[in-house]
């Protein structure tokens, strides 16, 4: 074990941007970042120093902070994450906001979240709409285990977790949903961004979808009309340059009122449409 060092020295020695170093040290000490800032002279235990220096090294090698701390906040919910799931992104909250505008507060509704990953979208919607019943699916059993664990730990019990390849093994085959939401893989295979940043560490099956990034969106859009009730809404997240092509997919599948909404960065990020009678 190394010599004990102070909070201030550990942060300075980490070789990381300050916020990353603070988040890692906050996790290890069980204190928050404000406490760390106010207690630069406090001593770390040798075990805390060793753990911190080891995690700092992994971070310098590119591993995402969320995988090192095993937690990421989404829609105010602290979600456990592992390398089996995509790290939930702030832009996906645009999809949650849109869904909440479509889902009434005082009526029981049925929602399908396709490709739930950590459970981010399903759990945010289930928490905000306690009367809704949310079916959340993923093709990855490992991802589904993380999502189920998140639901249990957060005490959100109006979600049903199902292992399915999009609609193929969906158990509620007789159910017509009021809304289908999905943040599917939508990056083109071979996109150079896949070799950069956090994407290098995230599961490939959560990221890529054929030569143009739209293979999974084609399957999701094509299958949606059979699973939606009349006037039910499909809303999907997609890449920064895909809104026109996704709008075309929805119109060709017979959807009405097709439109796209922007995320906080001003990018057309979510496209939605209504299943006509």
For ligand SAM, the binding residue among 73, 157, 165, 196 (CB under 6 A) is 165
What is the Cα–Cα distance from 224 to 186, expressed in whole angstroms? 17
Q: 137 or 158, CB closer to ligand SAM? A: 137
Query: Segment 58-87, which members bind ligand SAM (CB under 6 A)?
Result: 85-86
| Residue 20 binding ligand SAM, by CB under 6 A | no
What is the Cα–Cα distance from 182 to 194, expressed in whole angstroms? 21
For ligand SAM, the binding residue among 55, 59, 103, 115 (CB under 6 A) is 115
DSSP per-residue letters across 153-181: HHT--SEEEEE-STTTT-S-TTPPEEEEE
φ, ψ of residue 172 to 5 degrees: the values are -80, 55
| Residue 92 binding ligand SAM, by CB under 6 A | yes
Q: 198 or 205, CB closer to ligand SAM? A: 205
Q: 160 or 205, CB closer to ligand SAM? A: 205
| Lookup: tokens for 221 | 């859009």
Binding piece for ligand SAM, criterion CB under 6 A, among 26-34, 124-132, 180-188, 242-250: 180-188
Query: Segment 94-113, which members bind ligand SAM (CB under 6 A)?
Result: none
Kindly state the number of chain residues that form the binding site for ligand SAM, as judged by CB under 6 A.
Answer: 24
For ligand SAM, the binding residue among 160, 205, 212, 215 (CB under 6 A) is 205
| Residue 183 binding ligand SAM, by CB under 6 A | yes
**Own/partner pairs, 132-135, CB within 8 angstroms, 24+ separation:** 132/103, 132/108, 132/158, 133/108, 133/109, 133/158, 133/160, 134/110, 134/158, 134/159, 134/160, 135/110, 135/111, 135/159, 135/160, 135/162, 135/170, 135/172, 135/175, 135/177
| Residue 273 binding ligand SAM, by CB under 6 A | no
For ligand SAM, the binding residue among 98, 99, 120, 124 (CB under 6 A) is 120
């Amino acid at each position: 074990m190394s010599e004990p060092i102070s909070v201030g020295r550990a942060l300075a020695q980490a070789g990381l941007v300050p916020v990353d170093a603070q988040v890692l040290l906050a996790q290890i000490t069980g204190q928050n970042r404000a406490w760390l800032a106010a207690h630069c002279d406090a001593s770390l235990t040798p075990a805390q120093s060793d753990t911190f220096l080891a995690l700092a090294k992994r971070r310098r090698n590119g591993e995402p902070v969320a995988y090192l701390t095993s937690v990421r906040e989404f829609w105010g919910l602290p979600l456990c994450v592992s390398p089996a799931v995509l790290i939930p992104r702030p832009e996906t909250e645009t999809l949650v906001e849109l869904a909440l505008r479509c889902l009434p507060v005082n009526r029981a509704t049925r929602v399908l979240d396709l490709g739930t990953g950590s459970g981010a979208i399903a759990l945010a919607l289930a928490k905000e709409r306690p009367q809704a019943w949310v079916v959340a699916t993923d093709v990855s059993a490992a991802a589904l285990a993380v999502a189920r664990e998140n639901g249990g730990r957060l005490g959100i019990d109006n979600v049903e977790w199902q292992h399915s390849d999009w609609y193929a093994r969906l158990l509620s085959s007789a159910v017509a949903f009021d809304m289908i939401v999905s943040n599917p893989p939508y990056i083109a295979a071979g996109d150079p961004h896949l070799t950069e940043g956090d994407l290098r560490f995230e599961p490939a099956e959560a990221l890529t979808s054929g030569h143009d990034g739209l293979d999974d969106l084609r399957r999701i859009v094509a299958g949606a009309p059979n699973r939606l009730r009349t006037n039910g809404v499909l809303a999907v997240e997609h890449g920064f340059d895909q809104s026109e092509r996704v709008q075309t997919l929805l119109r060709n599948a017979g959807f009405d009122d097709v439109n796209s909404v922007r995320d906080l960065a001003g990018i057309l990020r979510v496209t939605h449409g209504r299943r006509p009678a």
